[in-house]
């Protein structure tokens, strides 16, 4: 009898420690979950602030399937004389330009990179926008839509970007084509562009519609929290951030 009780006690202790082990594993799972990168190693890409992306956050409106270069073309349509499609190779054959600039998200953070690509004017010369065209609506792989006036697209600091820090854009940063307009908040820098449409009037983009953000998106005087300086606040005068 005594022996049997002891055995039962032993069994119960064993069960308890197994339960404790499972609990620990569950907690570990949750802890990992907070930092899990859902997209690495999958066919999809989406919003991400983990791992290497702690240094340069990734924003995407919706997760979307990674773009295959061979299957991708840029469609240029709307108010232009020669609407057409471009392959990535055709775009990369345009005269190359490069710049170092900071991307400033309206939600506090910023980060800097060396961007390379081509000038918007090169594309314009090939499709020849009509006189009525005032700007371009960018349609992106994640159903993000953003508008930029021709004035901004022709600005000497605005670049159509295919490369970042010497490599082709990662899927996260907008492969195969994005806009970098450093005088505007990040939301005016559309990524993973599929279609470009010349339009006669301003259209409110995805962020301007949902957020309390201006449709124009020019960076306002205020405070920035650059990721590479540990988000330590810095005063910014408005417009492109050039002093750090």
Ligand X SMILES: Nc1nc2c(c(=O)[nH]1)N[C@H]1C(S)=C(S)[C@@H](COP(=O)(O)O)O[C@H]1N2
Q: Whose Cβ is closer to ligand X: residue 28's or residue 62's? A: 62
Residues that bind ligand X (CB under 6 A): 56-61, 103, 105, 140, 142, 144, 173-174, 186-187, 189-192, 207
Least separation, in Å, of the C-beta of 84 and ligand X?
22
Backbone angles phi and psi of 168, in degrees to 5: -55, 150
- Three-state DSSP class for 3? helix
Residue number, 57 or 120, with CB nearest to ligand X: 57
Tokens 């301003």 sit on residue: 202
Residue 66 tokens, joined: 């990674």
Name the nearest CA neighbour of 120 among 151, 78, 141.
151
Please give the Cα distance from 230 to 152 (Å, whole number): 31
Number of residues binding to Mo ion, judged by CB under 5 A: 3
186 near Mo ion (CB under 5 A): yes
| Residue closest to Mo ion (Cβ) | 105
Strands 109-118 and 222-226: parallel
Q: Residues 69 to 128: which contact Mo ion by CB under 5 A?
A: 105
Which residue lies nearer to ligand X by CB, 140 or 153? 140
Q: Which does 56 bind (CB under 5 to 8 A by kind): ligand X, Mo ion, none?
A: ligand X
The entry of Mo ion, ligand X, none near residue 145 (CB within 5 to 8 angstroms by kind) is none
Cβ proximity to ligand X, 152 vs 189, nearer residue: 189
User: Which tokens in the block code for residue 204?
Assistant: 């409110």
Residues in the chain: 244
């Amino acid at each position: 009898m005594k022996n049997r009780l002891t055995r039962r006690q032993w069994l119960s202790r064993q069960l308890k420690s197994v339960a404790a082990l499972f609990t620990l594993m569950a907690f570990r799972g949750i802890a990992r979950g907070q930092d899990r990168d859902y997209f690495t190693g999958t066919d999809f890409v989406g919003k991400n602030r983990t791992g290497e992306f702690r240094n340069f956050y990734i924003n995407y409106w919706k997760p979307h399937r990674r773009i295959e270069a061979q299957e991708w073309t840029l469609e240029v349509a709307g108010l232009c004389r020669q609407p057409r499609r471009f392959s990535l190779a055709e775009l990369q054959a345009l005269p190359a330009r490069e710049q170092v600039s900071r991307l400033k998200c309206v939600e506090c953070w910023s980060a800097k990179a060396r961007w390379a690509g081509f000038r918007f004017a090169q594309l314009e010369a090939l499709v020849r926008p009509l006189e009525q065209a005032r700007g371009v609506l960018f349609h992106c792989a994640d159903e993000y839509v953003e508008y930029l006036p021709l004035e901004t697209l022709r600005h000497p600091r605005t670049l159509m970007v295919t490369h970042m820090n010497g490599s082709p854009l990662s899927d996260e940063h907008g492969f195969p084509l994005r806009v970098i307009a450093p005088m505007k908040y990040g939301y005016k820098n559309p990524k993973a562009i599929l279609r470009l449409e010349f339009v006669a009037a301003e259209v409110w983009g995805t962020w301007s519609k949902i957020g309390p953000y201006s449709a124009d998106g020019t960076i306002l005087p205020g405070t920035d929290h650059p990721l590479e300086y540990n988000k330590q606040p810095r005063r910014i005068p408005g417009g492109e951030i050039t002093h750090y």
